[in-house]
Chain A
């Protein structure tokens, strides 16, 4: 029982955003804690004062002839002074923190360029030929710079444990610094309302040690090889059914940009920004009727027979 209680407390304090997985988040959360203390103090004072006053000065039936009392005017001056002092303190704390976590990115080369699309994410790695989608790999242990763009409407990048958000705005370039402390999987969500499937635009970051990160980058520069015949016929169907007009697959004629890059889709753990596990069954369900799984997503329903779907699924799940 007690353990359960501890578990809950632990959850609230640590597993929410107040758990910092980047140095940026650490600074924000420190500031946030200062603020929470100050705010709790103010709330406590106001609440206690209110309760005291309404109890002490409640109306008494058949009380004596009533003579109102007045508070001295000096209190009022104090009441301007105290909040003003708090404002000044927090203003300087704020300046310090914000310059730390978001210094100007002038002229610096980004490590990753992330583009928001209606309901999915594209990640390009400058200096390599890698373009990935939805599962975004980032290195840990050093400060990296993300460049944020949008292909359509405004989206917003937010992984709670990483700290700050940043909008991806059409026609603008935004930047975000991150220094992730531990490898692992981090989840978040698009936080600016971006249309029908805003809720289905989640974020999944795979943070890796430098060596693994480099290995991943190298693997992704290669073209996936397919051997079995079902998968090969799937590759043809992918062409003939116009899937390639929207999706890119390296080493094939498919070079569409309107949908996520599928070159290495089989190496991913999840589909569709993390709302489904990546397995054959879910791939089948998606290709059968995308609108049933993510109504409003920009992929139409293809009326394919069972064989074609099986072939497509075999093809996609061999794209390691």
Chain B
């Protein structure tokens, strides 16, 4: 397929005329996607600085760099920020930008609601941070257990801001979920059946159901807590007849699916990346797609595995232990399918692919430690220690964040018309991965040695300082390597020339469109006859629908 130079020139012209007002009023899915990504980046920097502050405090035993009061606000804000205002917006950014392009649509189903979702999410994040100027940030951890979250124990207004901030972001997430579902159902290119969806779109689609199923539980809990704090209701206040565990049930009924809400779109990104850079179709499309549904369904039945030490009794625990172990099976299938996709391919080690390959290993580690938590007696031993911190970061960083980075390097040309520097990117990749493992691997050992999580300081027990020092050094290495990524983005954004579209010889429709933010995506679409319509168009004699092998189930 030749590159249509005239198109690119035209794009460049409009691209230059952007004004701030244009962004503020935009309802274009690509512009909103870009803004989501910027917001994620902004909060990522803030959350990252918070992480470095914590690691500085923990660099050695009995350190007094931060007071407990400040430390507790910072670890709460770090977790809340990274989950609700970094991972969610980053993945939404890719979803609202790429999904319409990948299914041949010109926009989301409800463009104005799309803008609404974005702005209300951003507003929620800003309100959350405003708490720092209103007497103190929330300080009861990102899952904010009752009754510590009640005004009797947390008297600053931080937790009120937490409630309102997350409620706003939650409304934004639910409306995006609805938007994604309707877009996929109603705006696919003619001929593209649901079975032909690119896997990123399929996973986003399934994920949207998770969002609209799970978020209401959080929103309800937040409203109840707000009533408790502001109007002296008694939902979670034990002293006046409320229940402390009710909060945990409601929070984790949201919170566990949330973990999958953050990982499924990333799985989607990997599925695209593995195919394109192995020059092969996915191995076992129906298994990958089907296991996604299995994960989504199971994820609503595992929340008590966050509560195995609350004394709910062996019968209840055993049920949730079993469901949590089971969820490992569909996840294992996925790992195998990605390996199978690379098998027999012709693998290109781009930065995007490197992150995907590293993910396979890191996520396996995170997944296995996750299984450890579903084996209840082991959970009793290691829960609430640094072991959890390690596990969670292997899943959230090694799983989700690697996916976002992989997606960033994969799609940057589509986002901006220019391509990130691969050489710088590879240096960044190695430093980041080494730093990541230095930071979090040793935390497994710390947990097993008896270091509880969320402590602002720790006694000088043998090896504690050594391992924590290693962890802190790794955190700064990660921080430093991110500067390299930011520089890469800055350098690329300042490039005068646009790079050629379709740099990876892509398979799916987004690479067919040369539209940049603010423009119409497609004037005309090819006939869709397989899962790789753009491939079919480029290589008519090798088209998938012509030589349909067993791979396509």
Contact = CB atoms under 8 A, between A and B. Distances in A.
Interface of A: 11-12, 15-18, 25, 27-29, 31-32, 35, 39, 42-43, 46-47, 49-50, 53-54, 57-60, 63, 66, 68-71, 73, 75-76, 79-80, 83-84, 87, 90-91, 93-95, 97-99, 101-102, 104, 118, 148, 152-154, 156, 158, 160, 163-167, 169-172, 174-175, 187-200, 202, 275, 295-296
Contact of A16 (B287, B450, B457, B459): B450
16 contacts: A35-B372, A54-B349, A59-B347, A71-B343, A73-B284, A79-B336, A90-B375, A94-B375, A94-B377, A163-B381, A164-B377, A166-B311, A170-B239, A189-B455, A198-B68, A199-B457
A101 B68 contact: no
B538 to A, nearest CB: 15
Question: Which size class do B's interface residues fall under?
Answer: 35 or more
A165 B72 contact: no
Given A42-B364, A47-B361, A189-B455, A98 B383 contact: no
A195 B153 contact: yes
Contacts of A39: 368-369, 371-372
A70 B344 contact: yes
B384 A83 contact: no
A166 to B, nearest CB: 6
Nearest to B375: A94
Interface string B65-102: 00111001000000000000000000000000000000
Interface in B361-413: 361, 364-365, 368-369, 371-372, 375-378, 380-385
B192 interface: no
Nearest to B446: A16
B463 interface: yes
Contacts of B245: 169, 172
A10 B550 CA distance: 54
A28 B381 contact: yes
B148 A153 contact: yes
A296 B68 contact: yes
A76 B450 contact: no
Nearest to A94: B375
Chain B CB within 10 Å, residue with most, of A175, A188, A199: A199
Given A75-B340, A275-B459, 18 more contacts: A17-B381, A32-B372, A32-B381, A35-B375, A46-B360, A58-B346, A59-B349, A70-B550, A80-B329, A83-B333, A98-B317, A99-B314, A153-B145, A160-B449, A160-B450, A170-B238, A172-B311, A174-B310
A57 B278 contact: yes
Contact of A158 (B339, B452, B549): B452
A165 B329 contact: no
Nearest to A168: B311
Given A167-B311, A169-B245, A31 B377 contact: yes
B244 A170 contact: yes
A70 B449 contact: no
B520 interface: no
Contact of B450 (A17, A43, A97, A275): A17
A199 B457 CA distance: 6
Contact of B311 (A18, A50, A174): A174
Nearest to B358: A50
A318 B77 CA distance: 46
